[in-house]
Chains A and B, each alone.
Chain A
C-alpha cells in the first residue's frame, strides 16, 4: 500500500506521456494538482487508514523495502503542500503551454524521488532516490534558458555531484563494515561495535556530502545562486522542500535512528548549525535582491534544524521536525510573495520595487505573516518550533548554543524588516513599472500558506497534545 505514494505518480507520469491529443497541459495540471492534494490529505488522515502506524515490507514489487512511520507522514504532508503550491505558481508564471507540460512532468519525477526518499528503509535506495530528485530538479532549474539560470544550475550540479561522490564512497564503507544496506542492519553493526573505525569514517564522509546537499555554511556557495536565478516556481520547490528532503531529512533519519555515535559528531553538527544561523543571517543584510535575501535566510533557518538534530535529544528532534515543517511553509510563502512581485513588476531587486504601499495588499500582509513566523514572533508557527529547540538545548545543558540561537532571532527580524521597509512601507515617488496584475492563483497560494502559518501557530499546543505526541514511535 505504501508503494502507492510512489506508484501513482509514476503511473500518472506514464499516462500523461501517452501519445493522445487530449492530454494537454490543462489536463496534466488538474490531474497532478489533485494528486498532490490527495497526498497531503492522506498523510493528514493517516490514522483512518489501515497502514498507518506500522511499516510494510514490499518484496513483491521492488527489491527494496519501504517503511512508513510518523516522521515520513509529516514529510509526505509537507511535500504534498509545497509541490502543490509550486504547481500553482508555475501555472501563473510560466507562459507557454509546452513548458508548463514539461514542468509538470519533471515535477512528478521529483515528487516520486522525494516520496521514495522519505519511505526508503535502506541506505542505498535512499541514495538513489535522492539522486533522482536532484536530477529532476537540475533540469527544472535550467528550464529557464538564460545565462544566470544555467550558471546557478551548473554550480548546484557540480557541488551536488561532489556530494554524491562522498556519499557513495561512504556507502561502500557501510557495506564493508556491516555487510548490509538496510537501516536495521547498519544500526545493528553500530550496536555490535565491531569495525567502529570504518563506520565512523563512513559517517564522516557521509556528513560532508550531506552538508553540501543541505547548503549549510561553509558549504552554502551554491544556494543563493540556485534559489534566486531559477524560475519562481522552481525556487519555491527547491527552497521549500527539495533541499530539505535531500539534505535535512536524510540527516534527521540517519543521525538519530540508524547511526549510533559518540558526542563528537553531534558537536560538529551543532557547530555547523550555529555557524550557519549567524553567518547566513549577517550575509542576508547585504542582499539587494529579495530572492537572494530569502536564500540566505533559508541557510540560516536550516541552521536551526541542523543544530537541533545535532543536539539529538527527543525534544530537540521534535523541534527540528516542527521547524522543518514551519520553514517549508513559511519560506514557500515568502518565495510566492517574491513571485507575485516579479510577476507584477518584472523584478525582485529591492532598488527597483520599492514603496509599493498598498498596491498589493494580499502580498504585503501575507509576507508580513511569513517573515514574522520565520523571525519567531508568537503566536505564529516559527515561534513554537524555535522555542522547543531552545528549551531542548537548555535541557541538554548546551547553554551557549541556546543563547546564540535565540538571540540570532533579532538578526532575522532585522534583515526582514529591512526588506519589508524597502518594498512595502516606505513612500517613494519612483515606482517600478507595472506589468499587470497578480493572478488569482498566486493570491490563493499566499492566503493558503499564511492561513496554515497562523492556524498551526495558534493551535500548536493543541496540535502537539492531540496529534503529534500521539504519533507513536515519533520520538522512538
Chain B
C-alpha cells in the first residue's frame, strides 16, 4: 500500500469512525465498543508500519495547495510517527479498560464517539505540517475533551468542563495570534517553508511568547494549570486519556515540533522556559503533597512531570531532547496506569479522598502492585522506564551548565517520591477505615489493563536500549544532525 494512503487512513479512519459510531450502537452496544477499540488499534498498527520507513530517515509528505496559506500538508517523520504510536497505543488500552468502567453510566455513545474523535484529531495534529491545519485539529481535541470532562451531568462537572474548555480555547486563541504573526513574518503557514525562512529572519519574541501561551495552556503549565486538577471530576479513563497520556502531551509535542524541529529558540528563551517549567514543577509538586483527593494528586503530579519534558526540549543537546522524547513514552504509560488504578479504587470504594481510604492492599492486590510499579516509574526509580528519561534530562541540563536549574528539578523529583509514597501509603497500606464496607477487586479486563501499564513501565526500563535508540535517532533528526 502506498505510504501516503496509510498516512491518510491513520487520521481519517478514526474521524469517520467517530461520526458513524452512534449509528453502530443501533446494532449492539458491545459491537460499538469493539468497533471503537478496532478503530484505535488500526491507527496504532498502521503508525507502527510507518516506523521502519521513517527510521531510515525517509519523510512522507502530502502537500495540496490552497489559497491564503491554508495548505493541506501532512508530514510523517520520526517525531510524528513516534508520538502517534505512543498516543494510539495508550488510547487503545484505555478504551479496553473503559468497556467495564463506562458500562454503568449514561451517554456511552457520546463517550465512545468523543474518545475516537479525540484520537483521530490527535493523529491529525501529530502529522500536520501546516500551522492552520494543526490549529484545526488542536481545537477539535479541545471540543472533544470538553465533552469528555463533562461526561457526568451534575452542575459541578459541567462547570469544570466549561472551565477547561474556556482556558484551553483562550490559550489557543493566543497561539492563533502567534501563528498569524508568524505568517506575517515568514509569509507562510507551512512548517517546512518557515524552517527555511527563519534561518535568515529570526522570529520575534512576541510571536514566540504567544505560541508558548497556547502550548502552556494545553499542557496545563503554570499559569494556565488550574483546569487540569479540576478536570479530575471526569470518569477515570477520561482523566487517564486526557490528562495523563495524550491531551497534555499535545502541548509538549507542538513545542517539540515548532521550537525544536522548526525554529531553534533564541538564547533568552533557553533560560525562560526552564524557569517557567521549574516553577510549575515545584508548585504543583507542593500542591500534590497537601491535596487529599487521589485523582487531584495524580493530576498535579502530571503538571509537575510535564515541567521535566519542557526542560528536556528546551535544551539544545541531543541527550536532553532524547530524554524528553523518552519521557513522553514513560510518563504516558505510568500516568495512565496510575489514573486507571485510581479509577478502580474510586469505583469500588466510592470515594477519592485518601484520608478516607486505607488498607486496600489486602482486598485489591493487583491494583496495589500495579499502582506501585507505575508510581516507581513516575518517581524515577531504576530499573523502571521513568528513571532513564529523568536521568537523561537532568544529565542534559548539567551538560548545558545549568546547575541551579538541574538542582531545582532534582528537588522536584524528590517531592515526586514523597507525594506518591504518601498517596500509596494512605490508600493501600495501614488499617481499613471502613471495614464494614465490602470492597472487591476491579473486573478482570480492567486489571489486565492496569497490569499491562505497570509491566510495560518495567519492561521499557529493562529493555531501554530499543526505545532509547529510536529516541536518539529522532533527536538527531530534529536537530538536523542526520
Q: Are A465 and B66 in contact (CB under 8 A)?
A: yes
Q: Are B135 and A378 in contact (CB under 8 A)?
A: yes
In the assembled complex, which residues on chain B have CB atoms less than 8 Å from the CB atom of A407? 170, 173-174
Of A151-159, A243-251, A386-394, the one with at least 4 CB within 8 A of chain B: A386-394
> B428 within 8 Å of A by Cβ?
no
CB distance from B284 to the nearest CB of A (A): 25
In the assembled complex, which residues on chain A have CB atoms less than 8 Å from the CB atom of B68? 315, 388, 391, 461, 464
Contacts A395-B184, A417-B165, A461-B72 given: A409-B173 contact, CB under 8 Å?
A: yes
Q: Are A410 and B140 in contact (CB under 8 A)?
A: no
CB distance from A284 to the nearest CB of B (A): 15
Contact with B along A44-65 (1 / 0, CB 8 A): 0000000000000000000000
Q: Are B140 and A378 in contact (CB under 8 A)?
A: yes
CB-nearest residue of chain A to B155? A426
Most buried by A among B106, B136, B142: B136
Bound state CA distance, A413 and B165, in angstroms? 9
Q: Are B70 and A461 in contact (CB under 8 A)?
A: yes
CB-nearest residue of chain B to A458? B136
CB distance from A377 to the nearest CB of B (A): 5
Q: Are A425 and B165 in contact (CB under 8 A)?
A: no
Contacts A406-B173, A421-B159 given: A390-B180 contact, CB under 8 Å?
A: yes
Q: Which of A372, A414, A426, A462 contacts B158 (CB 8 A)?
A: A426
Bound state CA distance, A266 and B159, in angstroms? 41
In the assembled complex, which residues on chain B have CB atoms less than 8 Å from the CB atom of A11? none
In the assembled complex, which residues on chain A have CB atoms less than 8 Å from the CB atom of B65? 465
> A165 within 8 Å of B by Cβ?
no
Bound state CA distance, A465 and B64, in angstroms? 11
Contact with B along A400-430 (1 / 0, CB 8 A): 0011001101100110010001000111000
Most buried by B among A388, A395, A409, A421: A421
Q: Which of B107, B153, B170 contacts A426 (CB 8 A)?
A: B153
Q: Are A377 and B158 in contact (CB under 8 A)?
A: no
CB-nearest residue of chain A to B65? A465
Bound state CA distance, A406 and B174, in angstroms? 9
> A357 within 8 Å of B by Cβ?
yes
> A469 within 8 Å of B by Cβ?
yes
CB distance from A463 to the nearest CB of B (A): 10
Bound state CA distance, A390 and B139, in angstroms? 17
> B232 within 8 Å of A by Cβ?
no
In the assembled complex, which residues on chain A have CB atoms less than 8 Å from the CB atom of B142? 377
In the assembled complex, which residues on chain A have CB atoms less than 8 Å from the CB atom of B165? 413, 417
Q: Which of B70, B162, B184 contacts A421 (CB 8 A)?
A: B162
CB-nearest residue of chain A to B70? A461
Q: Are B166 and A421 in contact (CB under 8 A)?
A: no
Q: Are B66 and A462 in contact (CB under 8 A)?
A: yes
> A346 within 8 Å of B by Cβ?
no
CB distance from B138 to the nearest CB of A (A): 8
> B169 within 8 Å of A by Cβ?
yes
B301-325 residues with Cβ-Cβ distance < 8 A to A are none
Bound state CA distance, A410 and B177, in angstroms? 13
B111-139 residues with Cβ-Cβ distance < 8 A to A are 132, 135-136, 139
> B405 within 8 Å of A by Cβ?
no
Most buried by B among A372, A378, A383, A394: A378
CB distance from A241 to the nearest CB of B (A): 27
Q: Are B67 and A469 in contact (CB under 8 A)?
A: yes
Q: Are A410 and B170 in contact (CB under 8 A)?
A: yes
> A432 within 8 Å of B by Cβ?
no
CB-nearest residue of chain A to B142? A377
Q: Are B177 and A403 in contact (CB under 8 A)?
A: yes
CB-nearest residue of chain A to B71? A461
> A185 within 8 Å of B by Cβ?
no
> A204 within 8 Å of B by Cβ?
no
Q: Are A413 and B180 in contact (CB under 8 A)?
A: no
B181-196 residues with Cβ-Cβ distance < 8 A to A are 181, 183-184
In the assembled complex, which residues on chain B have CB atoms less than 8 Å from the CB atom of A414? 162, 166
In the assembled complex, which residues on chain A have CB atoms less than 8 Å from the CB atom of B158? 421, 425-426
| 15 intermolecular pairs with C-beta atoms under 8 Å apart | A377-B142, A377-B169, A378-B136, A383-B139, A391-B180, A403-B177, A410-B173, A414-B162, A426-B154, A461-B70, A461-B72, A462-B66, A464-B66, A464-B68, A469-B67
Could you tell me which A residues sit within 8 Å of B by CB distance? 315, 357-358, 372, 377-379, 383, 387-388, 390-391, 394-395, 402-403, 406-407, 409-410, 413-414, 417, 421, 425-427, 461-462, 464-465, 469
Extra 8 A-B pairs, beta carbons < 8 Å, given A378-B136, A395-B184, A426-B155: A377-B169, A378-B135, A379-B136, A394-B181, A402-B177, A417-B166, A461-B68, A461-B72
